Each structure stands twice: as C-alpha cells, then as structure tokens.
Amino acid sequence: MATAGKVIKCKAAVAWEPNKPVVIEEIEVAPPQANEVRIKIVATSVCHSDLYHLFESMHKDGFPTVLGHEGAGIVESVGPGVTEFQPGDKVIPLFLSQCKECHLCKNPRTNQCEVAWTRINQAIMAGVESRFTCKGKRVLQFMGTSTFSEYTVINQTAVAKIDPAAPLDKVCLLGCGICTGYGAAVNTAKVESGSTCAVFGLGAVGLAAVMGCKAAGAKRIIAVDVNPDKFENAKVFGATDFVNPKDHDKPIHEVLTKMTSGGVDYSLECVGNVQVMRSALESSAQGWGVSVIVGWTDLHDIVIRPVHLISGRTWKGSMFGGFKSKDGVSKMVKDYLDKKLKVDEFISHNMTLDQANDAIELMKNCKCIRAVMSVSPP
C-alpha cells in the first residue's frame, strides 16, 4: 500500500488525563517495526475496562493514552519478520498475546503467555511500546491495542487473523467482552449439562456468561442485577430466573441459597466488585460449588472466611474467558458465521468515532449493552 513504511497521520480519541472527556485529535502513527503489524481499525466498541482506566483507577502514569481494546480492522502493512499476516487481512487486535512458543502457550491448562507479561505494563494498562505521538508528545497505547484510532500498531503475537467473510462491525465485540463472559462459563467454570448457575452483573460480559451457561446445557440460569431493565436482555441469552438484590432484605447469597436448596452449582461474578465476588462465592453450593471471578479490578482486597473454601467450594479466576487468544478468537468468529453464537444481539447502539464521549457516557450510565463505533470505511 502507498502508506507502507511511512508515518500515517490520522484521527484518534485521546484521553489526555483521567476523569476528563477524550479529545478527537490528529495523531501520528509510526510504521510497524520488527514483528509488528499496522492495522486500519474499521470498528470498535467501548468496554467497561476502558471506563475503569479513565474513571476508576485513574493511574497518573497511564495518560495520555488512546483507549479501546475491542475492535476489528484490516492489515495496512507489516514490519520485518512478520510472516503470519499480509496487507488486506481481516484481523482482531488482542490485549492478551499468544506467542505459541513459550511454556505457557504450550500448556493447555492456561491461556497466559510470557510475551503478554512483557508487552503490557499492567499497572498503567498500557503497552510498553507505543507508535503514537500527538502534538510532539508520546501517547500510550491502552492495553497495547488502542482501537479508538483510525490506525494502530500491534505486536504480531497479539493479533488474530479471522475469516475474510466476517463483518468487522459485528465481530469487533469478540476482542474482549463476549469471549470473556462466554469462555468464563464454558472454559473456566466448565459448566455441566443440567446444572444450576447464577450470573452476577448483566452487562455485555454477564450476558455472554449467560449465553455460555446455556450453550453448556445449564437447566437453570439465575441472572442477578440491581437494574431490572436488564432482565429482558438476559432472557434473550438464556436466563431463566431474575433476582434484584434490592428487592430483598436478606443478603443475596442467602436468597439464592434458599432458591436453589443449598446454592448454585456455578456462579460467575461479572461486575468487578469485591463484595459481589464474595457474594457469588457464598452463593455457590457447599461441597462442590464453583465460583469464577470475571470482573476486573485491582483497587481492593477481598475478605473471606476460610470455611467458605474448606467446605468444598472452588474459587477460580478467568481472564479473556480462558481462551488462548489467537486460536479462541478465530474459532469464535467461525462459530458466529456458522450461527452458533449470538453477537448482533449485543449491539444496542451504532455510532462514530467522533461520538466517542457519547458512547462512553452510555456505558458509564448503563444505557447500552455495546455501542459500536465506526472508525474507518472497510
């Protein structure tokens, strides 16, 4: 392409400082270096992790940054040493690498990757490297991806090649939320047919967890949220029961334990709140219950009593739904194309990159499931 090897000037939504609106700016995107891929982002969505960085953690060293990690696009050019991708490929950026060569990637028991630990500075939720500058200042790449930009540069270990038939304005959601929730049920909890499940939090991740529980054959799926407006959405994805903690005088784990005669077989926390994490654990059945932490936070400690685990419960954590990222995303795209997976139903709003602040406000105020922003023409 004519732009290969050159700096590209393009539009991006820059978060200059925490807890402030993002600003649509012209940024410079450097050419890809060794083992990197430059991608034209076609569509992206706002995920709660973007809001967590902007409004909750607000790490002073994590700005300025270009947010976004749930996107899809087309390869514009590749750097030296890249053989897996070529210009024109449809791809999904990944915040979690899969190098396929380290001992973690070769171990079927985890989806972690040694490269992921060196590529991303978790404290500031940004890539160690950045190919962005704006007004002469280095701009961080959020989670090493930064999909709120018309172009981005990503290490090839964190890019998934997908079926060329895939609609990018739909499958962009598979870059984070849907895989995270669905996989937490199927891969991490390993929900069994005929079981009873509880899903705490009915954002996109929670709804995807509901969908995963249904796909695994759960007979009863209890959706838990303080916003009753979300219950109709949960029904679409397979929820059978709905509980609003505000409707009860007792702690929610006591309510669920009574509803299920002893607790659920599987509980999934999809909020990112340590109190809810404890409630989810306590809601699972003594003796065999499995509870999975899916929601992200690094701000607080969890306090539990040892007897909660000594009695036979299992407590697990799940990142990106336990999917090895490249392999998992490519397969999930195929499942969507084969009509085995709901994706379109998660999209409640279609917007443009210029409306990034509006999309952020919709997510912040729980007024959307997912707002997909058009970034560049396909």
- Cα separation, 99 vs 101, whole angstroms: 5
Find the catalytic residue in 45, 49, 149, 318. Answer: 49
Distance separating alpha carbons of residues 267 and 264, to the nearest angstrom: 7
Active site residue 59: no
Question: Which two three-digit tokens encode residue 229?
Answer: 């407006």
Tell me, yes or no, if 368 is annotated catalytic: no
- Given the residues 10, 45, 48, 53, the one annotated as active site: 53
State yes or no: is 49 an active-site residue. Answer: yes
Residue 176 designated active-site: yes
Interacting residues of 37 by C-beta distance below 8 A, sequence separation 6+:
75, 77, 78, 79, 82, 85, 91, 153, 154, 155, 156, 159
d(CA 267, CA 315) in angstroms, rounded, equals 10
Catalytic residue among 10, 47, 270, 368: 47
Helix (H) or strand (E) holding 95: none
Question: Which one of the listed residues 99, 176, 179, 270 is annotated catalytic?
Answer: 176
Catalytic residue among 10, 45, 48, 69: 69
Q: For residues 183 and 327, is the Cβ–Cβ distance under 8 A?
A: no
> Residue type at 251?
P
CA–CA gap between residue 322 and residue 200 (Å, rounded): 19
Q: Identify which of 324, 211, 327 has the alpha carbon closest to the alpha carbon of residue 270.
A: 211
CA-closest candidate to residue 30, choices 174, 141, 157: 141
Residue 53 annotated in active site: yes
d(CA 249, CA 310): 28
DSSP secondary structure, 38-78, as one string: EEEEEEEE--HHHHIIIIII--GGG-SEE---EEEEEEEEE
Residue by residue, DSSP assigns 148-187 as SBSEEEEEGGGEEE--TTS-HHHHGGGGTHHHHHHHIIII
DSSP summary character for residue 299: S
Whole-angstrom distance between the N-terminal and C-terminal Cα of the chain? 15
List residues with catalytic annotation.
47, 49, 53, 69, 176
